[in-house]
Amino acid sequence: MTHIATIKEGILTVNKNWQLLFIQLITLALSGLSFFIIVGMPIAIAFILFGLDLTEILRLKDLVSVFRGSAELLNNYFAMALIILCSLLIYLSFILVLWVYSLGGTIGILTKSILNDISKFSLKTFLHEGKNFFFRLSMFSSVIGIVFLAIAFLLGILVGCASSIIDTAKSYEAVFGLFISFFFSMVLMSIGIVLILLTLSAATYGVAHLAFYQSRSFTALKETVKYLYSKPSAIGFYTVLLLGYIVIGFIVILIGAPLTFIPIVGPLISLPYQLLTYMVQGYLSLVMLASIFHYYKGSLPAAPPLSTEVADISQNTADEPAPPPEKMEGTPVS
């Protein structure tokens, strides 16, 4: 199957489950609303109960006065600081749970639609798949997050080494130092782009492995690395999808940018256009994910099992020995 055909299959899968786009909008709305409920309301109540003076905080006009008055503010508003910190932690936890659950349901619906397990979208199936993928997806996201931190740490070390070499080169000759600076900038930029692209590819195809094989996070990451090593064209396909997502998203944002400069009606028009922009980006992300799933399924040597339970049942059935023939009365058994 060609790349264009795979993308067309992804578009058809998303169009068949168009309700996923509205679920993304609902998730976004809940994210914004929960900020005012979890963070904004406790802060407002604390200001009223403790009789805090907001004007004292607003008097700190520069950064130096902020650091000078931070200790005094912390002593005066220690309870307020605790409330803000706890509210932010609760809000971040809620957001992570909400988005991971939503992503798990989306992955489950797309997978079942690709495997022809469902003919149309079902909210009950979405909620079940969100619960089914929640812990596996959380663990896998944590592993990918650790990988990104390791990449950032490695790039930080390389940047520090490059800075030392550049400073040494500039001390000998300015032109040579300028050349070395440009050279190392290009090299570090290329290394960073390659590492980030490889990690994003591993994350996306790892999610596909989780979806089709219902495996554990470390198993999915290991098998995905093997898959990308044996099939480098998968990275190229992901790169094409990512570039298409960036280019189309940039064009949509660029079209809406002049709307803000229209007098009076500009802000009124730009607000619904922002919603339209998010819907386009959400649709593109769903098409990108569905296309990756189709590509992964089509490039496997054998069709992936529907679930591990089915595979376990078939394996147990094959391993069980055949039952011995029952003895008939008066009939000898040879």
Q: Give the per-residue SS3 of 171-197.
A: HHCHHHHHHHHHHHHHHHHHHHHHHHH
Q: Nearest to residue 204, comparing CAs of 295, 86, 114?
A: 295
pLDDT tier at 72, thresholds 50, 70, 90? low
- What count of Cα atoms within 13 Å lies in the side-chain half-sphere of residue 239? 12
Average pLDDT rounded to a whole number, residues 3-21 = 88
d(CA 24, CA 106): 9
What phi, psi does 121 have (nearest 5°)? -70, 140
Q: Which amino acid is at 210?
A: L
Mean pLDDT, the chain, rounded, equals: 78
d(CA 261, CA 12): 37
- Per-residue pLDDT at 292: 92
- Per-residue pLDDT at 2: 78
Pick from 24-33, 44-53, 66-75, 304-313 the range whose average pLDDT is largest.
24-33
Q: Is the pLDDT of residue 186 over 70?
A: yes
d(CA 273, CA 268): 9
Tell me, rounded to whole angstroms, the distance of Cα 112 from its chain centroid. 20
Q: Which of 45-49, 67-71, 201-205 has the lowest mean pLDDT?
A: 67-71
pLDDT tier at 51, thresholds 50, 70, 90? low
Average pLDDT rounded to a whole number, residues 206-211 = 89
- Per-residue pLDDT at 243: 92
Q: Is the pLDDT of residue 127 over 80?
A: yes
- Per-residue pLDDT at 71: 52
> pLDDT for 75-111, tens place per residue?
656 667 787 788 889 989 899 999 999 998 899 899 8
Average pLDDT rounded to a whole number, residues 161-189 = 78
Could you tell me if 20 and 121 are in contact, meaning their C-beta atoms sit under 8 angstroms apart? yes
d(CA 147, CA 151): 6
Which tokens sit at 69?
Answer: 């008055």
d(CA 324, CA 268): 80
Q: Nearest to residue 75, comparing CAs of 48, 56, 49?
A: 56
Q: Which DSSP letter does residue 38 get?
A: I
- Per-residue pLDDT at 263: 73
Average pLDDT rounded to a whole number, residues 274-298 = 89
Q: Is the pLDDT of residue 309 over 70?
A: no
Distances (CA, A) of 216 to 141, 170, 222, 316: 12, 51, 10, 21
More confident residue, 175 or 128: 128
Q: Which of 4-8, 163-167, 230-234 has the lowest mean pLDDT?
A: 163-167
Q: Which amino acid is at 247?
A: V
Q: Is the pLDDT of residue 331 over 50?
A: no
Q: How much of the chain exceeds pLDDT 90, in percent? A: 9
More confident residue, 267 or 57: 267
d(CA 177, CA 183): 10
- Per-residue pLDDT at 77: 63
Q: How much of the chain exceeds pLDDT 70, in percent? A: 78
Could you tell me if 13 and 110 are in contact, meaning their C-beta atoms sit under 8 angstroms apart? yes
Q: Is the pLDDT of residue 66 over 50?
A: no
More confident residue, 266 or 158: 158
Q: Is 60 helix (H, G, I), strand (E, B) or coil?
A: coil
pLDDT tier at 158, thresholds 50, 70, 90? confident
Tell me, rounded to whole angstroms, the distance of Cα 135 from its chain centroid. 15
d(CA 139, CA 216): 8
More confident residue, 266 or 314: 266
pTM above 0.95, yes or no: no
